[in-house]
Amino acid sequence: MMKLDDIRREYIQGGLSREMLDENPIAQFEKWLAQAVEAKFSADPTAMVVATVDEEGQPSQRIVLLKQLDQNGFVFFTNIGSKKAQDLGVNNKISLHFPWHAIERQVIVYGEAQPLSTAAVAKYFLSRPKESQLAAWASQQSRPVSSRQALMQTFQSMKSKFAKGDIPLPDFWGGYCVVPHKIEFWQGGEHRLHDRFMYIKQADDSWQIERLNP
């Protein structure tokens, strides 16, 4: 049995002070995201863990790609029959986690998921590669499938069906904007004395910034 308690490393890439932070967490996130992309430590720097809770109080997580970001919040797209969409239908509270391990940083977003308009979803869907559009039609996301072969047969069927012209937006495809009320920025520190700052949205839409214990 592997000794897990011996797997450790020090975090030495630098600290984070209050003076280094932008007053706006979205601007601060954009800065860190650009640095994560520039570092080229991962093929998917926009990958985020999306955590939801179902009607029985059971949390679940999955990795989804961040597709849009503005002052309103963080946007992702999904099949609205998926597990995460079903969870959000009964409890729209959500958390996002960006684990940028190689640069010793994490960002955690706490907020509420608001469905996007059909127009916004269609604009994104039509921008996807054709194969990705077909995959959306072929997959009944989160539901059981008998085999990989069965999935590929459905994919080929969709490919034949939509061989000519544009592929229409499926009525089961949607998206969400995660409107944040708290965002934490975490920078690894020596001796496990990490730097953590929490942005908390105020009633007047300004942001209060607090340092947290590691």
Q: Tell me the per-residue pLDDT of 183-193, one tens digit each, with 9 for 90 and over.
A: 999 999 988 89
- pTM, to two decimals: 0.92
Please state the rounded mean pLDDT for residues 39-55: 91
Indicate if 105 belongs to the active site.
no
The residue type found at 160 is: S
List, for residues 92-131, the tens digit of each pLDDT value: 999 999 999 889 999 999 999 999 999 999 999 999 999 9
Active-site position among 8, 18, 105, 192: 192
What is the C-alpha separation between 97 and 48, in angstroms, rounded?
5
CA distances for 51 relative to 5, 72, 74, 96, 107, angstroms: 27, 19, 14, 6, 14
Q: What is the DSSP letter of 43?
A: S
Whole-angstrom distance, CA of residue 15 vs CA of residue 118: 43
Cβ atoms within 10 Å of 15's Cβ, excluding its own:
14
Q: Which two tokens stand for residue 71?
A: 């002052």
